[in-house]
């Protein structure tokens, strides 16, 4: 469109001076605004059996500290496009299953009450994903627990009612019940309306998952360092569980991106059990994997205790989310007290000025399992004080947030 030229009447010298001054202000104002840093950071809040190993029968503002988090964002609700919640291991020990049987009054297994206190937090997120540590039985006629798990399939329905959309499933226990256990698990999860990443029934079936969250597509991968028994993976059936290989992960992430995924999450089993600090190998792997343009966030599992969150460039790795539901505790096994702790990590995703999605906010909700009835309780709540006592609840909260925030990703 061609600008229209307008003839101006004669004006006085003083008027000319004012006109020139006004023009200079108009020209200079954008330059001044561009050079002035944005005073509003993107902030988050921190809310507040007896076998060894797996066999155990006020909101503060937090700067995420990444370059991307300081960039201009668009979208609803102050720039947040959607939120994703992740939790640690869902590890059904025999004692947990026994309580579920009691809840059902002899009519199967009912795990629903165990999630009552965290359901609202999980359903508040646009996408909620758990880590299913163990295979599910097809008909509960062949149940087994540590060291080779095959647990009641009703846990799938309870996870769906709790607010989960799906789970990662690649772990050292994935093949505890062989190929049949993979099939029965995927069947039970599908019947409950839950997606599963990290395992497949056949070479033709994808082991990755894509979730549609509003206008955006979230890809989810799940990998494990290995299996408890390497020989449990039949020759030629690598599709049963995704074993960690950086090149394979990068390739699968690239395929998800090419298929339209806007944001890609990798769930990975790694590290040393009961050790909060990531190993040098974990740190190196995280740097390598996040250097890929197709992996946007890493969520770790396996240690059964909370591990730190670390910013790597403009992205994040949460090295370990501990246990969400289990019977592990200082009393039930030779385990640290922290095995009773868990967390719901909620990540807000925004868009930068180059239209790339990034994590703009992390919210941590510490949890703890009440082993009296295996209810998962948010430790910064009246229910936690009633169940555990004020001091133990506060100690659990402080322990969880202290580890998560070692690298300044949260502000306690």
Q: What pLDDT does residue 229 have?
A: 85
**pLDDT at 53 (0 to 100):** 53
Tell me the Cα Rg of the chain: 25
Beta-strand relationship, 315-318 and 297-301 = parallel
Q: Is 106 exposed, middle or buried (0-12, 13-18, 19+ CB in 10 A)?
A: exposed
Q: What is the pLDDT of residue 27?
A: 40
What confidence score (pLDDT) does residue 247 get? 94
What's the confidence (pLDDT) of residue 168?
98
pLDDT tens track, the chain, 412 positions = 333 222 333 333 333 333 333 343 334 434 333 333 333 332 233 333 334 456 666 333 323 333 333 333 344 444 999 999 999 999 999 999 999 999 999 899 999 999 999 999 999 999 999 999 999 999 999 999 999 999 999 999 999 999 999 999 999 999 999 999 999 999 999 999 999 999 999 999 999 999 999 999 999 999 999 999 888 899 999 999 999 999 999 999 999 999 999 999 999 999 999 999 999 999 999 999 999 999 999 999 999 999 999 999 999 999 999 999 999 999 999 899 999 999 999 999 999 988 899 999 999 999 999 999 999 999 999 999 999 999 999 999 999 999 999 988 885 3
**The pLDDT of residue 106:** 83
Please give the domain boundaries of the chain with CATH numbers for all domains: 49-404 (3.60.21.10)
- The DSSP code sequence of 191-231 is HTT-EEES--SSTTS-S-EEEEETTEEEEEEEEES--SSGG
Question: Residues 344, 85: contact at Cβ < 8 Å?
Answer: yes
pLDDT for the residue numbered 132: 98
Of the candidates 313, 131, 136, 344, the one whose C-alpha atom is nearest the C-alpha of residue 223 is: 131
pLDDT of residue 374: 98
CB 184 within 8 A of CB 239: no
Question: What is the per-residue pLDDT for 56?
Answer: 62
Contacts of 214 (CB under 8 A, 6+ apart): 81, 82, 126
pLDDT, tens digit, for every residue of 55-102? 666 333 323 333 333 333 344 444 999 999 999 999 999 999 999 999
CA atoms within 13 A on the CB side of 238: 7
User: Cα–Cα distance between 348 and 352 in angstroms, integer?
Assistant: 13
- The residues, ordered by sequence, that sit 6+ positions from 178 with a Cβ below 8 Å of its Cβ are 232
């Amino acid at each position: 469109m061609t600008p229209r030229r307008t003839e101006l009447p004669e004006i006085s010298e003083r008027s000319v001076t004012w006109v020139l001054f006004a023009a200079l202000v108009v020209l200079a104002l954008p330059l001044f605004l561009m050079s002035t840093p944005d005073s509003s950071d993107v902030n988050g809040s921190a809310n507040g059996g007896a076998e060894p190993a797996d066999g155990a029968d006020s909101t503060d503002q937090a700067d995420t500290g990444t370059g991307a988090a300081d960039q201009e964002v668009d979208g609803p609700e102050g720039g947040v496009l959607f939120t994703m919640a992740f939790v640690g291991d869902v590890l059904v020990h025999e004692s947990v299953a026994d309580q579920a049987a009691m809840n059902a009054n002899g009519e199967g297994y009912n795990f629903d009450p165990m999630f009552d206190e965290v359901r609202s937090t999980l359903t508040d997120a646009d996408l909620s994903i758990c880590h299913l540590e163990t295979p599910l039985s097809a008909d509960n006629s062949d149940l087994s627990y540590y060291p080779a798990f095959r647990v009641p399939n009703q846990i799938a329905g309870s996870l769906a009612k709790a607010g989960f959309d799906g789970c990662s499933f690649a772990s050292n226990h994935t093949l505890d019940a062989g190929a049949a256990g993979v099939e029965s698990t995927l069947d039970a999860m599908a019947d409950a309306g839950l997606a599963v990443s990290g395992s497949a029934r056949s070479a033709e079936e994808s082991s990755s998952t894509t979730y549609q969250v509003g206008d955006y597509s979230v890809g989810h991968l799940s990998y494990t360092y290995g299996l408890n028994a390497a020989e449990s993976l039949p020759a030629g059936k690598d599709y049963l569980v995704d074993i960690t290989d950086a090149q394979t992960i990068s390739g699968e992430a690239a395929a998800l991106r090419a298929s339209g995924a806007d944001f890609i999450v990798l769930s990975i089993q790694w590290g040393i059990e009961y050790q909060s600090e990531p190993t040098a190998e974990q740190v190196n792997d995280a740097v390598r994997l996040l250097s890929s343009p197709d992996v946007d966030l890493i969520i770790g599992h396996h240690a059964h205790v909370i591990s730190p969150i670390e910013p790597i460039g403009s992205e994040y790795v949460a090295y370990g989310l501990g246990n969400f539901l289990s019977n592990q505790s200082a009393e039930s096994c030779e385990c640290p007290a922290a095995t009773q702790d868990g967390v719901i990590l909620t990540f807000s995703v925004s868009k930068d000025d180059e239209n790339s999605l990034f994590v703009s906010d992390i919210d941590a909700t510490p949890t703890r399992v009440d082993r009296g009835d295996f209810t998962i309780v948010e430790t910064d709540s009246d229910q936690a004080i009633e169940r555990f006592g004020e001091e133990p609840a506060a100690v659990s909260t402080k322990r969880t947030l202290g580890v998560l925030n070692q690298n300044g990703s949260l502000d306690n």
